[in-house]
Chains A and B, each alone.
Chain A
C-alpha cells in the first residue's frame, strides 16, 4: 500500500531524460575532441599539414626544378629595387649586387640580362647593351671619398637624363624567395629541401619507433636477466655522444645519399623510445588482462604486440611527434657541417649552409631555409604538446 503511494509513473519528458542521446565516444574520438579544443595544437596540426602539402605539391606549380640553373639570374633577391630608365614603352632595370643588370617588367618578372659592353673601372662607369639600347651605369657616387650622395647609382638609357631614384620595390615574380648563387629558384629548393628533410625525419623516426618499441617491449616483458642486460646496453648507448657517432657513420659509409643519412639517424636515436616503451610495458604487464591472455594460452609475441603495445600507444605517439622535429634539427646540424645530402639535392640544412657564405650580401638565402626549419620545429612542438594533453590527460602540465 505504501509502495503504490511512493511510486508514480514517469512522465514522457522524464523518460526522455534517460535516453542516451549521444553516441558513446571511442578512444580516438575522445582524443580528437580534446585535441580540437587545444588551440595551439590545432595551429601546429594545420602547420604540419601545410608544410607537407607545400613539400609534396609545391614543386608541381613551379616552372623550375630544384636543379635548374640560370647563371644570368643568379643572386636575385625576393624584392627587386627597380629603376625605370625609359617610359612608353617602359624599360625597367634591376642591378644585382655583383653588378649584373637585369631587364625587369613592371610587375617584377625578370625578362633578360643586359650584356656588359664596356667596363670603365677607374671612373666606375659600366655600359650595358640590350639590342639597340645602351644603358650607362655610374656608381661612383658613394665609393669616392668625400662624395656623400643621396643615391647609390645613376642609370641613363641611350644618353637620356640620368635616373638616380628607384621607381619602386616589386616582388620578384620569377623567384619569389630569390635565387641562389647558381641562379636556382630558392623557393623550389626550399620546397625540395622540405621533401628531403621531412623524408629523413619521418623515416628516421619510424625506424626509431620500430626498433624502440620492439626492443623496449621485449626487455620489459621478459624481465629479469634479459631486461637487465638489454637495458645495460641502452644505458651504454645513452652515455655516448650520439651526434659524433652519426658523423662517424656518415664518414664511414662515405656516400652521402638520402638513405645513409636516414639510417644514421634512425640507428642511433631509438634509445629514448626503448626506455619509454619499457616503462609503459612494465606497469601494464602486471594487469589482469595480460594474466587472462596468458591463461588462455596466447603466445608471447601476441601478448606483446596485440595487448601491451596498443595500450601504450598514447605516450608512443607523443614521443614520435617530438622525435620528428629533433630529427629535422639533427639533420640540419649534420648538413650544416658539410655531411648532408650531396648536390644538387639539398635539405634545409644544406641550403642554410650554402646561404652562410654570402650572408652579408644575400641574407635571404639563409633566411628562408632557416625560417622553414624554425616553423617546422614550432608546429611539431605545438602538436606534440597538444597530443600529450589529449592522449593522456593525466600528463597535462600546469
Chain B
C-alpha cells in the first residue's frame, strides 16, 4: 500500500515537472516578447530590459533558472506589473479565489449529495422529477449566463445583493451560485444514478433481508459504494473551483487568481501565465493524487487493479 502511494506521488511530481516544462517552452515559442509594443522600444532599452529579466540568456539557462525558481517556490517577477513578483500576485489572489471556491465546494457537497440520494430513494416521484429537471437545467446553462442572470435580477432589479465585489458577505452569494451551478447539478445527477445502481445490487437485498435498519443499509452499505464515482468527479472539480473560474471572477469583478490569468494572457505577461498555470496544474495533480489515495482506502479492489495493471 505504501509502495503504491509512493509511486503515485512520484508520478504526480513528474507530471507537474512535465507541465512546467511544456508551459515554459510553449510560452517561449510565442513570437514577440513581453516588451513588444506597438511603438518600438529603442534597442538599448530593449537590451537593458532583456538583461534585467535574463531574457538574453540562452533558452536552456533560462529554463534551468526557471526550474530552480519553481523548486524554491519563486515564480519570478511579473513582466507587466512592475515591482511585483508573481508570488505577490498569487499571494494576493489565491486566498480570495480559494475562499469562493471553498464555499462552492461546500455547497456542492452539502446540497448535491443529499439531493441526489433523496432523488434516488424517491425514484419517479414528483420530487425526483423536480430534482432531475433542475439538474438537467443546471448542466445546460453556462456559468456566465447564470452569473449575468443573477446580476440582472437579484442585484439589478431587486437589489438584494451587490452586483460585484466581495466587500460584504452577501457579495459571495452570486459568485458561489454561478461557480457551483454546473458541478452541483452534475453531482446530484451522478449521485442519483450511482445510488440507483447500488440499490439494485444483491448485497443490499441481503442486508435488508438480514433485518438491518434502513438507515444502516443506506448509510453504511449503499453510500460507501455509491460515492466512488462521485469522489472521482469531485477531486478535479475541487481543484478547478479552488483555483478559480476565470469567467465568474471576471463578471463579478473579484480580484482572484482567475482574473490575473486572463489579464496576463492578454498582456503577454509570461511569468504570470506560467506561474498561474503551474500553480493550477500542481493543485489539480495534487487533487487527483488525493482522490487516488482516497480510492484505495474506500475500495480495495481499485488498488489491486492498479497494482496489477
Nearest-Cβ distance from residue A392 to partner chain B, whole angstroms: 15
CB pair A248 B26 closer than 8 Å: yes
The verdict on B84 contacting chain A, using a C-beta distance below 8 Å, is no
B128 closest partner in A (C-beta): A398
Complex Cα spacing A247 to B245, Å: 13
Scoring B residues 123 to 153 as 1 if CB is less than 8 Å from chain A, else 0, what string do you get? Answer: 1000000000000110111111100110110
Contact indicator B145/A397 (Cβ below 8 Å): no
Contact B142 A381 (CB under 8 A): no
Q: Which residue of A lies closest to B249 (CB)?
A: A337
A381 close to B148 (CB less than 8 A): no
B81 to chain A, nearest CB (A): 18
* Binary interface encoding of chain A residues 311-345 relative to chain B, with 1 for a CB under 8 A from any of its CBs, else 0: 00000000000000100010011001111000000
Separation in Å of the B97 CB from the closest CB of chain A? Answer: 14
- Residue from A240, A247, A381 having most chain B Cβ neighbours under 10 A: A240
Contact of B145 among A239, A244, A352 (CB under 8 A): A352
Q: Is A291 located at the chain interface by the 8 A CB criterion?
A: no
Q: How many residues of B contact A (CB 8 A)?
A: 50
Contact among A236, A247, A332 for B265, CB-based, below 8 A = A247
Give complex CA distance A106, B245 in Å. Answer: 47
Given the interface contacts A356-B148, A356-B251, A398-B123, does A240 sit within 8 Å of B142 by beta carbon? no
Residue with the greatest number of chain B CB neighbours at <10 A, chosen from A244, A247, A373: A244
Q: Is the CB of B23 within 8 A of A336?
A: no
- B246 contacts the other chain (CB 8 A): yes
Q: Once bound together, how far apart are the Cα atoms of A78 and B101, in whole Å?
A: 37
Given contacts A244-B281, A252-B29, A378-B140, contact A373 B193 (CB under 8 A): no
Contacts of A252 in B (CB 8 A): 26-27, 29-30
B-facing residues in A240-271 (Cβ within 8 Å): 240-241, 244, 247-248, 251-252, 254
Q: A248-B23, A329-B142, A336-B144 are in contact. Are A241 and B280 (CB under 8 A)?
A: yes
**Interface status of A363 (Cβ within 8 A of chain B):** yes
| Docked pose: A254 CA to B265 CA in angstroms | 11
The reply to whether A381 and B139 form a contact with Cβ atoms under 8 Å apart is yes
Q: How far is the CA of A213 from the CA of B148 in the complex (A)?
A: 39
Chain A contacts for B277, CB-based, 8 A:
244, 248
At the interface, yes or no: A377 with Cβ under 8 Å from chain B?
Answer: yes
> Would you call A93 an interface residue if the criterion is a C-beta within 8 Å of the partner chain's C-beta atoms?
no
> Contact: A240 with B284, CB < 8 Å?
yes
Answer yes or no: A186 CB below 8 A from chain B CBs.
no
Q: Is B142 a contact partner of A370 (Cβ separation < 8 A)?
A: yes
The smallest C-beta distance from A387 to any residue of chain B, in angstroms, reads 16
Over the window 337-368 of chain A, the binary record of Cβ atoms lying under 8 Å from chain B Cβ atoms (1 yes, 0 no) is: 11100000000000010001001100100100
Q: In the complex the two chains form, what is the Cα distance from A207 to B240 in whole Å?
A: 25
**What are 13 inter-chain pairs, A to B, with CB distance below 8 A?**
A241-B236, A241-B281, A248-B26, A248-B277, A252-B27, A333-B143, A333-B144, A352-B148, A370-B144, A373-B145, A381-B136, A398-B120, A398-B193
